[in-house]
Copies of this chain bind each other. A is one copy, B any other.
Amino acid sequence: MHIKLKDLQETHKRIKPFIHRTPVLSSSLINEIVGAEIYFKCENFQKMGAFKMRGALNAVLQLSEEQKKCGVATHSSGNFAQALALSAKMQHIKAYIVMPENAPEVKKKAVKGYGGKIIECKSNLEARETTLNKVVAETGAKFLHPYNDYQVIAGQGTAAMELIEEHADLDYIVAPVGGGGLISGTALATHYLSPKTKVIAGEPMGADDAWQSMEKSELIPQTNPQTIADGLLTSLGDKTYPIIRDLVEKIVRVEEGEIVAAMRLIWERMKIVVEPSSAVALAAILKEKEKYKGKKIGIILSGGNVDLGNLPF
């Protein structure tokens, strides 16, 4: 493995002073429904509202003094954009965020609120990469990939490290899979620190590139993803895929209605705000709940950044 236990431990030590130690919550009603003990690691309470803060910060904290002068750059319209902007702000360096011109105003506003400089581009992969390359050439900023980056992956793995520290004897840990940063970090942490625990990924049926990749034993890129879980639209990367292939027990695909139902259950019963992507992990458990009777399950609630003006219920 590229990322060793020591790397994860150093990562956690590095970012710990700057992140929240998020709480682990449970709900007796959800436990009753599943017939299992479920522990929710609440990354919706993380700084800027999602686990992405961990990986972004880990990468930013390892920049050289030279690199810090030029800042960082990424392309993202989601939580990683905000996470990188905030991480950079905390270290007093610049963050250039390439976003499609049609990205929701609320997301642009959030990035600006954290002091990020937005560079708009047309809404396609080519424009995004061209614009990013131009920004990097002009500014000398270091490009950080939202998930296909070992420093980012190691950072995301620290959520599972904390969960395992508090609940050592989990039978399963479940997290959503999009680009694979969270699930691969989670799988690595679990592999080293709780090897008997099985790692399961939840994935939307309408963006099932991870499931396809596992089926065909090769990296299948996502095309035309369709899901409410807007954090899970991206393809696996060449760094995240092999970790998932080797360390994730299985990918469980869930329908849109199952995602919304799981999200509603979390909001109504736990009284916490989670984004649709977060609910995918619980939806995966609810879908096959008969398999989890009497088990201890950790679920990573990935984030809570949701547009309240556009809810699915």
For the complex, is A304 an interface residue (Cβ under 8 Å from B)? Answer: yes
CA distance A274 to B304 in the complex (A): 15
**CB atoms of A308 and B273 under 8 A apart:** no
Q: In the assembled complex, which residues on chain B have CB atoms less than 8 Å from the CB atom of A271?
A: 44-45, 49, 272-274, 304
Which of B273, B309, B313 sits near A272, CB closer than 8 Å? Answer: B273
Residues 254-298 of chain A, each 1 if its beta carbon lies under 8 Å from chain B, else 0: 000000000010011001111000000000000000000000000
Docked pose: A311 CA to B311 CA in angstroms: 9
The number of residues on chain A lying at the interface, defined by a beta carbon within 8 Å of a beta carbon of chain B, is 16
User: Which residues from chain B contact A264 at a C-beta distance below 8 Å?
Assistant: 308
Interface residues as binary, A31-55 with B (CB distance below 8 Å gives 1, 0 otherwise): 0000000000000110001000000
A304 to B273, CA, bound (A): 11
| A23: nearest chain-B partner, CB-CB | B23
* Identical copies of this chain, number: 2
Asked whether A308 lies within 8 Å of B45 as measured between CB atoms, the reply is no
Complex interface residues of chain A between 220 and 264 (CB less than 8 A to chain B)? 264
Instruction: Identify whether the interface residues of A are mostly helix, strand, loop, or mixed.
Output: loop
Give complex CA distance A104, B273 in Å: 23
- Contact yes or no, B44 A308, CB < 8 A: no
Interface positions, chain A 161-207, Cβ under 8 Å from B, are none
Residue of B nearest to A310 (CB): B313
In the assembled complex, which residues on chain B have CB atoms less than 8 Å from the CB atom of A272?
Answer: 271-273
Bound-complex Cα distance A27 to B24 (A): 18
Chain B residue at minimal CB-CB distance from A29? B113
In the assembled complex, the Cα of A125 lies from the Cα of B198 at a distance in Å of 58
A174 to B308, CA, bound (A): 26
A268 touches B308 (CB 8 A): yes
* A291 shortest CB reach to chain B, Å: 26
Whole-angstrom distance between the alpha carbons of A49 and B267 in the complex?
Answer: 11
Known pairs A44-B271, A267-B273 / 10 extra A-B pairs, C-beta < 8 Å? A23-B23, A45-B271, A49-B271, A267-B308, A268-B273, A268-B308, A271-B273, A272-B273, A309-B313, A311-B311
**Chain A residues at the B interface, C-beta cutoff of 8 Å:** 23, 44-45, 49, 264, 267-268, 271-274, 304, 308-309, 311, 313
Across chains A and B, which 6 residue pairs bring their CB atoms closest together, nearest first? A271-B304, A271-B273, A44-B271, A308-B313, A267-B273, A272-B272
20 A–B pairs (Cβ distance < 8 Å), ordered by A:
A23-B23, A44-B271, A45-B271, A49-B271, A264-B308, A267-B273, A267-B308, A268-B273, A268-B308, A271-B272, A271-B273, A271-B274, A271-B304, A272-B272, A272-B273, A273-B273, A308-B311, A308-B313, A309-B313, A311-B311
